Amino acid sequence: MLKVLFFARVKEELDCPALDLPWSESIASVERLQAQLCESGGQRWQEVLSQPNMVRAVNQTVVSGDAPLCDGDEVAFFPPVTGG
């Protein structure tokens, strides 16, 4: 099982704080998971999750899209953070 979390503007725009998804080979990387979420969620999810500079983390560590996923991982999506 994968725990998928959405934060800040991503959570608000999707109206979804979290999902539990069964892990499978078809979503064995962050990029594959993101693509599946975009495909299954429809156009709104595609627009939100395809935003430039989307930050992705696995088990609370920021990763690149090709990061592998394992059963039991926690994956988070959030917009880039800026300081002021």
- Render 61-80 in DSSP notation, one character per residue: EEE-TT-B--TT-EEEEEPP
Angle at 5 between CA 7 and CA 78, to 5 degrees: 35
pLDDT tens per residue, range 24-55: 998 999 999 999 999 999 999 999 999 888 99
Residue 45 located in a structural domain: yes
Cα separation, 50 vs 65, in Å, equals 12
Range of the domain at 19: 2-78
For 3-21, what is the mean pLDDT?
A: 96
pLDDT greater than 70 at residue 84 = no
pLDDT greater than 70 at residue 83 = no
pLDDT greater than 90 at residue 65 = no
Domain harbouring 17, CATH code: 3.10.20.30
- The total number of structural domains in the chain stands at 1
Of 46, 48, 41, 70, which Cα lies nearest the Cα of 58?
70
